[in-house]
Every structure is written in C-alpha cells, then in structure tokens.
Structure 1
Amino acid sequence: MQQIDDRPILDVDPFGQQARDNPDALDRQIREAGPVVWVPKYGIWLTGQDSIVREVFSDWRRFSSAFGTGMTNVVREEPWRKPSVILEADPPVHTPNRKVLARVLSPAALRKLAVGFQQEADRMVDALVARGRFDLAADLAFAFPFKVLPDAAGLRPEGRPHLMPYSTLNFNAMGPRNDLYEAARKVVEDNGTFAYVAEQMREENILPGSFGAEIYAAAHNGEISHEDAGMLVRAFISAGIDTTVFGIGMTLMALIERPDQWDMLRADPDLARPAFEEGLRFQAPSPVIGRTTVAATQLGGVALGGDEKILMWLAAANRDPARWADPDTYDITRRPVGHLSFGTGIHGCVGQMVARLEAESVLRALASRVRRIHLVGTPERVQINWLRGYHSIPVEVEAA
C-alpha cells in the first residue's frame, strides 16, 4: 500500500483475472490495507472492514444508492439500463416500492411456498441420486432456483433461457466495462434478450396468483406507479437468481470439502439454514456493493470527497477477525447472525427470505438422501465482475 496526497492507496485491480483466481487473498489484502483505501486504477474507494461497511450501509444520507450501486454513476453517466427503483434509489422514491415488495415477499407469503419448494427439491434430488453422477452446480444449484423463483414471480415459461444472460450482463455491468462486460452485452444483443425482458415486465405477461401479479395489484391500488411495478418485476429477472444459485453452490462446495460438517447436517437437518448462512458468510456470492458520497465526509479517519464511489467489499468484511472468531473456518454450528452478504439497513436485500427458503429446501433434500458427495472433476468458477461461484461442480454421490 502507498500513500499519496494523504489518500491511502491500494494498487490492486479487484476485477482482474488474478483477483478472480485468488478471491480469498484479494479479500484479505483489501481488509488489511486499512479502513478505507483509494484504488487509482478505477478512481474508487474500497473498504473491507466490518465496522466501516456497517457505517456506510446505515447512513443513506451520506452514502447514497441513487447514483448506482455499481461503479457507474447512473446520474452523471449513461447506464446500460434504466436504474432500479428498489436497489438504486433512496427515500422517498425507495420507500413505497420497498414497502410493496416487502409485503409481497413476507414470511406469510413464503410459508405458502415452502411445501411446493421442498417437493420440487425432493423431486430433483431423487432424480439426481438415481443417476449417481451429475453436475451439482448446473443440475441442482442452478436448476432449482431457475425453476421455482420464476414460477413464483409469475414469469411465463416461454423465453426463460434469456434470464441468465440478462442477469449475467446486469452483474458484469456493475463492474468495469471490461472484456467480461463486452462479452455479456454481445450475448444479450445477439439473442433478443432485451426484447424478452421488456415484454416479460408487462402486466399482461405476468401469470395470476404470483408475486408479479401482487406487485401490479399494488399499482392498481395506487401504492406505486405502473412503471415502477414493471421495474420491480424486472428485479426478479436481473437480481434474484444468480446470487442464490451461486450461494447454494458455494455452500455445497464448503460441505463437500468438509465431510465432518456434512455429517453434522445429515444428523440434524435443522442445520440446513445455519449451513447456508455460514456459507454466505464464508464465501459471499455477491462480494461487493457500492455507494456514492453525497458530499465530502470522513470515514474511518479518512477524508472522502463528494460524489465519489465507495465499494464495500462484503466478502472481506464477512471474515473480519474484529467481528468473527476464527473467521476463515466454515462451521455450521456457528451463529452467523449479522453477516453482510444480504446487506443491512434500509437497502438490505428484500428477497433474502426467498433465497433462504430455496437453499434450505435443497440442503434438506440432499442431506436426507445422500451419505457422501465426491468430486469427480475440477470445479469451474464463474467469470463475472460482480459475482463469485461455480458453474460446474462434477460429483458422484453415495445414496443414504
């Protein structure tokens, strides 16, 4: 680390190939560099310490989401799509939209889905166990959320293959406009994905009895605008699948690599939820989120200018020894309450309970049917600016 003009400098590319190949080393470097550091390559601030991240999350008046939660300042620069009315907005715009989405995704609503989610997870796992060998990432960690979340959201079956390319572009676009972004953009431009998303957001294309239908009902009641209702439906398309897919996959990898932890889960299926929560703390699928300073301010004893981006490196903060005992150990008996993978404060992930329900369903289904999971090939990591995870985990299972 250098220091120039009183700014603590960290000369690192957090989105480069070396960083993607060595995520734990990057996280440690960011966290240990200091409370807040300046990255000259991109002209942004980074923080990977738990207390500093919490301070930023808790004060939207100083650290705004309305300028975009990625690297692009969506007010001053042309964004690749219209900004989200839930993720990239502050009160008062944020408040009514958040209220509607929180009601639609309430614990009571999710309890109605729980039985169906578990039945679908059981069905998928039964079929995979019968095969013996399969790809745990593609055939389960991806396949399950890709089925149940679009169903619950009311997205029509036709055109769903567009969901992942669109979401991949969304998360690549939050980072730098590098080769990953350009490749993801070309995919969606070449296959008609933008047209699919525009149509799927429309009320007439939402299936009745779904989350999407409830969102549009709120628009008819005057709680939100019809335009904002469409934007909230878009959130299910752009942000609700990848993060859960990769969170489940990385949790499963942690369990495969630690047979003692898998045995504990098999012995007590009620550890399914803690196993996922600890998985999110241990390996955050969405390791970073950004804010913009509204005016010059102080953070962690460092002077920040106005209208500057600060990226909170959640994966680093989730292993901050100032917050967590033995932070580099995956332990499903830990109570990881307060990990930052879902954020916190008024912009905390509104769909986090859906993700938990999906992951718990999968882990329970596997733990009740599989005695041991063996890797039979090399897992392959995803290459996305803003996400971490696996797109391939080749395994063989021993039935219980």
Structure 2
Amino acid sequence: MTLIEGHRPLTPDASIPVLDVDPYALDVLLDPEPFYSALRDAGPVVYIPRYQVLAVGRYDETRQTFSDHENFVSSRGVGLNDFKLEKPWRAPSIILEVDPPDHTRTRKVMSKALSPKVVRTMMDDFIATAEALVDRLLEQSEIDGVADLAEAFPTTVFPKAVGMKDVSPRHLVDYGAIVFNAVGPDNDLRRHAMARAPEVAAWITAACARDRLTDDGIGALVYQAADAGEITPEEAAMLVRSFLSAGVDTTVTGIGNAMWCLSRNPDQWEALKADTSLIRPCFEEVLRYTSPVHTFLRTANLDTQIAGHPVPEGAKVMCVLGAANMDPAKWGDPQAFRVDRKPTGHMAFGAGIHGCVGQNIARGELEAVLSVMARKVARIEPAGDAVWRPNNAIRALDRLPLKLIPN
C-alpha cells in the first residue's frame, strides 16, 4: 500500500464536501482565519484531498470527535502519520499518544504531579520571578514580548518547578516546537525540525534523567510513582520529558499571545487593571481567541461516523481547534476579544480525557505574569508589527515589539 503522509489513502463518502486547501501552507499558518471560516462554512465534516484526510472545524463536531476516544483514537498518532502503519520518529508519548487503559494509568501520575495543590506551592516563586522580570523590562524603552517576556519567564520558572539542574532556554523552547512541527506533513517546517531533533532530544533526555533532577520538584514526584510501582522507571523518564514538550512551548505561546491581544485592545487591559478578578477569564479568552494548539488529528479506529456521514476505519480526522474556538454558532461574536467573556468549553486545552494535563501550571504562570503587570504596567503598546512563527500545530509569535509604560 502506498501511504499518504504516513497514513492510508482515503476515498470519502460522496456526501462529504471537498475543501481544496492546504492547511499547512505558510500563508494559512500565518493567517489561519480565512481557512477556519471556509472549513466551517463547507460543512460539519469535509474532505481535504491534498492529504486525503477528513477535517472538522465547527465547534460541536470538533469537540465530539476530539473527545470520542473510543471511535477516534490518539494511539495511532495525533499527526498525519498512522503509528499502526508507520513507525514514528520517536517513541510515542505515553500521555498524549495513548488510549485507555494505559492512558488512565499514566494520566493519574501526571495529574497528581501537576495538581492545583502542587501548583499553589509554586506561586510564590512565580510571583517573585515575575516581579523581577517586569521591573527589569520596565527599565527598557522597548522590548520583544516573545524573547524578553514570553520565553524568559517559563524557561526560568518551569525548569525549577520540574527540578532540573541543567537549563538551556533555547533547547527548552525549541523542543516543543520540534515535537509540534513533527505532527505535520513532510514540509519545510517538519524537515527543519527533524534536522534539529537529534541534538535537542538528546539534551532533553539527559537533562530529565533522575540523577539530573533535584528531589523537591515535580520530576521527583513522577519518579516516586515509579518507586511505588505505579509506572516503570522508563515510563517515568518519558513522562518527565513530556513536561517539556507540552509544558514550555505552549506556555510561551500563551504568554506571547496574551501580550499581543492586550496590546491590540487597550480598553481590555484597562478593564483587567480595574478588576484583577478578570485575570483568569482573560487568559481563557486569550486561549480561545488565539488557540495556541491550532490542530491535532485523530484516527478512526473502526468504521464510524461524524454528523451522520460515514467515516471508515483508518481515516485520519483533522480536528481544527482554532476553527472551533472561533465558531460564531458557539461564541456569538468570536472576533471580539473580551476579558469578561469567560469562554467555558473552549478547545485550546483539548477536551475529554486528553485535555491538557499541564493546564493548571500554565494558568498559574499566566496568573503570576498578568497580576504583576496589572500592578506595575499602565499601558502595553505596540512598538512595531507582530511577526508570527509558522508551526504545523502551534499558533505562536516569533517577535512582538512592545513598549511597557509604567504606572
């Protein structure tokens, strides 16, 4: 059988509309909204012939498909490759690319290590780090909201939270970008990522080994689960590495995207400063509005259906989370960024059993940054054009020139 981007060719049912678009084209990745709109307008499920995949972008069908772990599995890969047919570039993630009952076992360990109670013990350090960083940035006439803030904060606090003795901010940021680019097609983005993967992955593996971690971080909690027989030592090492593939890049993206949203909507920054109880809703709205993870795929593990349309076993289904988060049928006025929206049910952290296990710590980091900035920063002003960084799964900024005006 000749595979298409690592998965079985698909002949869709005649009832499914065709959308002739390349979701991974650079112009789409840099400005995805026209694609999101076309996908929703085309139907509840569409066929994309370039990659011979199905795609969903309306809120209801996207959430249902993404959450249905019995019919649409993750264990066959959350990218275009079908792990049942083609060996992945690295061992599959035992938290992201696995189904119950194995997922239940590893998820339990990760959820305990990243529980709200554990995150609360980190908040003093998060706040202190944010205080020092924001004070330093306020002394500068202009900053890059990505390198100076969005990357600088997580790569300072997160390795310490994990208990890492070795820290390389560049490798920490790049590792997530590599992992997420790898879920796409064999395009320039993926090829560039794969060229860097051996160097970066080797560093991550060494830095996450048990003897390179302190005994008081969340990494140690995972290895303690191995001592208790809940997981194997090999699984513990993989779970600690998964902290870094999913816990740094997406948080960097979330902070950068928050600065972009608030600098473009000064009235919303004023509203947040006036009522800091809006910090958490603000972060949720940033996630809905910008969808740091814009696309993940599922694989039909048996003959099934979406919105009454037949889906054969082995079909890859592209769940376009970014499109679902901008569906006017769900949100009413999705193009408006409102810090008081409280967008319960957004898809930025996934849904169902595969909801992002690190979302508690991501929320804690953003809360620290925004609470400190609300006290110290009068205005967040654009100082130039924002530049987006195309990625096969992540919607992230590359540069964000800003001026922070102190109170």
Q: Is the 8 A contact 1:70 1:174 kept in 2?
A: yes
Q: Does 1:146 align with 2:122?
A: no
User: Distance in 2 between the 1:35 and 1:11 partners?
Assistant: 16
Deviation at residue 58 of structure 1 after TM alignment: 2.8
> What amino acid is aligned across from residue 145 of structure 1 in structure 2?
P
Query: Counterpart of 2:328 in 1: which secondary structure?
Result: coil
Q: Does 1:51 align with 2:60?
A: yes
Instruction: Choose the corresponding residue for 1:115, options 124, 129, 135.
Output: 124
Match of 1:42 in 2: 51
Instruction: Choose the corresponding residue for 2:113, options 97, 104, 115.
Output: 104
Deviation at residue 320 of structure 1 after TM alignment: 1.4
Q: Does 1:281 align with 2:284?
A: no
Query: Counterpart of 1:8 in 2: which secondary structure?
Result: coil
Match of 2:324 in 1: 317
Match of 2:202 in 1: 195
Match of 1:214 in 2: 221
Instruction: Choose the corresponding residue for 1:181, options 187, 190, 193.
Output: 190
Q: Is the 8 A contact 1:165 1:188 kept in 2?
A: no
- CA distance 1:84–1:188, change in 2 (3 Å): closer
Query: Counterpart of 2:288 in 1: which secondary structure?
Result: helix
User: Distance in 1 between the 2:169 and 2:257 partners?
Assistant: 24
Match of 1:388 in 2: 395
Deviation at residue 33 of structure 1 after TM alignment: 1.4
> What amino acid is aligned across from residue 197 of structure 1 in structure 2?
I
User: What do residues 120-167 of structure 1 show as CA deviations (whole Å, max 9, x unaligned)?
Assistant: 111100110122311111101111111111211122234443222222
Query: Counterpart of 2:91 in 1: which secondary structure?
Result: coil
User: Distance in 2 between the 1:392 and 1:83 partners?
Assistant: 31
Match of 1:268 in 2: 275
Deviation at residue 279 of structure 1 after TM alignment: 0.6
- CA distance 1:247–1:159, change in 2 (3 Å): closer
User: What do residues 11-32 of structure 1 show as CA deviations (whole Å, max 9, x unaligned)?
Assistant: 0101101212321111111122
Deviation at residue 87 of structure 1 after TM alignment: 0.4
> What amino acid is aligned across from residue 335 of structure 1 in structure 2?
K
- TM-score, scaled relative to structure 1: 0.96
User: Distance in 2 between the 1:203 and 1:160 partners?
Assistant: 20
Match of 1:70 in 2: 79
> What amino acid is aligned across from residue 179 of structure 1 in structure 2?
D
Q: Does 1:341 align with 2:341?
A: no
Query: Counterpart of 1:46 in 2: which secondary structure?
Result: strand
Q: Which runs of 5+ in 1 are unaligned?
A: none
Q: Which runs of 5+ in 2 are unaligned?
A: 1-11
Match of 1:256 in 2: 263
User: Distance in 2 between the 1:268 and 1:363 partners?
Assistant: 12
Deviation at residue 194 of structure 1 after TM alignment: 2.8
Match of 1:302 in 2: 309
Deviation at residue 326 of structure 1 after TM alignment: 1.2
Q: Does 1:290 align with 2:284?
A: no
Deviation at residue 77 of structure 1 after TM alignment: 0.9
Q: Is the 8 A contact 1:150 1:236 kept in 2?
A: no
User: What do residues 190-213 of structure 1 show as CA deviations (whole Å, max 9, x unaligned)?
Assistant: xx3232122123221222101110
> What amino acid is aligned across from residue 138 of structure 2 in structure 1?
V
Deviation at residue 55 of structure 1 after TM alignment: 1.3
User: Distance in 2 between the 1:159 and 1:130 partners?
Assistant: 25
